[in-house]
Structure 1
Amino acid sequence: MEIYLVGGAVRDQLLGRPVVDRDWVVVGATPEQMLAKGYRAVGKDFPVFLHGDSKEEYALARTERKTGRGYHGFAFHAEPTVTVEQDLERRDLTINAIAQHDDGRLVDPYGGVADIEARLLRHVSSAFVEDPVRVLRVARFAARYAPLGFRVADETMALMQRMVEEGEVDHLVPERVWAETRKALAEPMPDVFVRVLRDCGALRVLFPEVDALYGVPQRAEFHPEVDTGIHIEMVLRAAATIAPGDALVGYCALTHDLGKALTPADVLPRHIMHEQRGIEPVQAMSARLKVPSDYAFMAEMVCRHHLNAHQAFELKPTTVLRLLEALGALRRPERLETFLLACLADKRGRLHHEHDAYPQADYLRACREAAAAITSKPFTDQGLQGPAIGEAMKKAQAAAIASVSKPL
């Protein structure tokens, strides 16, 4: 029996990055031998075991064979005769197909170390095309490692384009698309995720609402980048800078301007009522991807109300109160924070505006605090009952908001 450290742990170790998860491959063992040594079986499709002490995953070396379309269509073969090289061959990228002996020696049959040095995301073998999830994974790894200079190898991009053209990506289920997207939105450069998907053609299949934004012009005085698709990429980059690792803010950034793809051609490059037009595609995209309810809610709120945030100083106190109530922010201040971070990303996601101030955020925070400080007790003490209490509180909350100072 031989045990190797594999995958991301080896890759990140070679990149000098923190190793978060450690996965192991066991060569020359049977499930019965693993159980006899105290490992606990957890794998359903193929033999995977948890170490009794570390709880880390130990998988028997295996090969796989394509049996159908989509990512479910595989048959796995795990026998003591399967070598570590054969196990590594089934992996997606060469940088993930490196194993390490317990003495530190590397097993690198597919050039992963050289690709790390060359900063290339390259597929291991032609079997890459058999699993459509790999298109999303490559885009996600590109979003993670772009700050280090990584790019998708030309031959790998060509394979991804072929997978899209042959309809393999059409068989991805929403749960897998969302799982990879959520991770990508938390990466340092989520805009690269979108760019890679667009370059291979998968964006129009998986995210047609986003793909439709490319080529849609905006007014240059407000958006020097002009192209709405480029604006979305810039907002995603700004969101990752402002709120690192926050996929919820990232999803709001991704979806906030979907309505601009529906602007009538005769009014372009203006986008009057794009917030209202965007609600339906945001709802459709969230429903199709089966995103969590908090993501769906906040994405709709940012789409619907981001211009109100930008124009906060011009809003009436009653309008500010309605905004806070729509967000549910009086009881859940974290919703206001998510909203404001996404709006700040929208503000800064424009050419030459990457460092703009956004005093509207502090003003709206102060408005929330003023409104939230109003309680029902003074009104019940006055003898008010039922709806009269709520009406009195709203008036008091609006008055409290009116008293909040605005920047000069």
Structure 2
Amino acid sequence: MKRYLVGGAVRDILLGRPVVDQDYLIVDATPEAFLRRYRRARQVGKTFPVFMLGSAQYAWPRGDDIHEDLLARDLTINAIAMGDSRQIAGRLHFHPLALPDLRDRILRPCGETSMFDDPLRVYRAARFASSLPDFSPHPELIAQMRAVAACGALDDIFAERVAQEVRKALDAAKPSRFFRLLAETGCLLPWMPELEASRHIPAGPPENHGDNSIFDHMCELVDILAGQPIAGWMAVCHDLGKTLTPQSEWPRHLGHDDAGADVAEELGRRLKLPNRVREAGVAAARLHMKAARYAELRPSTRVDMLTWLHKHEMVEPLFDLVNADSGHNVWPLAKRDLTVMLSVHLPGKQRMRGPASGEKLRGLRCQKLAAADKARETQDAEE
């Protein structure tokens, strides 16, 4: 039995990057022999034998041998295998263009039909553009992505697989490259029509947004929030309500926050995002304008906002978005208020009384925040 480390792990080793995922190819052994040796492995592939052992994935070559497998992969820089078992340790096999493309920082399809063989590769390629920001898409990659989009092949991908690539891109070094490459090649459709529409609508008055479109503004924010997938998804969704503004009202977008909640909800449901991620997008659309004026809000409004955000673990991501979007860093004040608010508890006899207990707790927290505001005002006046 020979075992090869393949794909992104070898690429990252050669680039001097941390290895995250470990995928292996098994050669000269049947799946049955593999299971006899690794009894704790579990099968996850149905039509093609794929096994998980710990966090590592094990599969068998597509085609007759390892060389055919490498030629059938998505991008040349991922078409590399390195011997991992004792008799082949360190031995490299690679696509003829893999090492030159690694050296020249190029994202190139392995073959003429690479993107057609699995249309999800369109989104994977865009995600690699976001995680490898110093790599440039080869013209052949752009051409294949456009052709795949034009023939309708993206319609049949499972939504969850598209969503997984979106979330990985938001966690990457330069998320905007994911969305911009998809936009350039027509691949925002059919899964993200809201973002396609946002490319042609001004983000707001020129004195605030220059000539940026809603899409351009979103791309700026996801880069600021790179590595924060929840805050990044909030950035994607926060201005989607502007896509509903009649053209006669451009460049202003009155009421886009409330209007955007349903748009963000529809996008999240289409992609079948996990509930927390979907709800984060809706909350960003509805609350980002109000949160930017946090210091002006009444104690009751702040308590209601913070209570909901805290329950859904979205306090810090929303205020990170607000800071990136408006430049208003109100997080220190919100953090102080949250600490004050959570320090208030109902006396034992007033608990477990359903809505009445909730309303009582809310009232006490409002009083506590109002007192904290007054103390702060007094201190500021004395200083």
* TM-score over 0.5 (shorter chain): yes
Q: Is 1:141 matched with 2:128?
A: yes
In the alignment, structure 1 residue 374 sits paired with structure 2 residue 332 = no
Greater Cα shift, 37-46 or 153-162: 37-46
2:199 maps to which residue? 214
What percent of counterpart residues are identical?
34
Q: Counterpart amino acid of 1:189?
A: K
1:119 is the counterpart of 2:105? yes
Aligned to 1:300: 282
Structure-2 separation of matches of 1:205 and 1:57? 31
**Partner letter of residue 233 of structure 1?**
C
CA contact (8 A) 2:42 2:51 kept: yes
Decide whether the 8 Å contact of 1:136 with 1:180 is kept in 2: yes
Cα distance, 1:273–1:89 mapped onto 2, change above 3 Å:
same
| Corresponding residue to 1:320 among 298, 302, 305 | 302
| 1:247 equivalenced with 2:260 (yes/no) | no
* Aligned counterparts of 2:106 and 2:283: Cα–Cα separation in 1: 39
1:321 to partner: Cα distance: 2.3
Alignment partner, residue 60 of structure 1: 60
Cα deviation 1:131-184 (Å, max 9, x = unaligned): 1100000011110001xx102111111001000000001111211111111111
In the aligned structure 1, how far is the partner of 2:73 from the partner of 2:201?
A: 39
SS in 1 for 2:208: coil
Asked if residue 107 in structure 1 is aligned to residue 77 in structure 2, the reply is no
Distance 1:340 1:58 in 2: 42
8 Å CA contact retained: 1:4, 1:99: yes
Per the alignment, residue 177 of structure 1 pairs with: 162
2:333 to 363, 375, 384: 363
Query: Given residue 62 of structure 2, which amino acid in structure 1 is its aligned partner?
Result: R
User: Which residue of structure 1 lines up, in the alignment, with residue 77 of structure 2?
Assistant: 95
Task: Name the SS of the counterpart of 2:26 in structure 1.
Answer: strand
**TM-score, normalising length: structure 2:** 0.88
Q: How does 1:9-408 map onto structure 2 within 5 Å?
A: 9-38=9-38, 40=41, 42=43, 43-49=45-51, 56-63=56-63, 82-101=64-83, 102-128=88-114, 129-146=116-133, 149-217=134-202, 218-240=204-226, 244=227, 246-327=228-309, 329=310, 334-347=313-326, 356=327, 358-377=328-347, 386=356, 389-390=360-361, 392-393=363-364, 395-400=366-371, 402-403=373-374, 405=376
Q: For 2:33 and 2:300, how far apart are their aligned partners in 1?
A: 70
RMSD over equivalenced CA pairs, Å: 2.5
Q: Aligned pair in 2 of structure 1 residues 263, 157: CA closer, same or farther (>3 Å)?
A: same
Question: CA, structure 1 residues 304+38, in 2 after alignment: closer, same or farther (shift >3 Å)?
Answer: closer
Structure 1 residues 404 and 154: alpha-carbon distance in aligned structure 2, compared to 1, 3 A threshold: farther
Worse overlay, 198-207 or 368-377: 368-377
1:310 deviates by 1.3
Instruction: Tell me: CA distance 1:369–1:404, structure 2 relative to 1, closer, same or farther (3 Å).
Output: farther
Aligned residues: 367
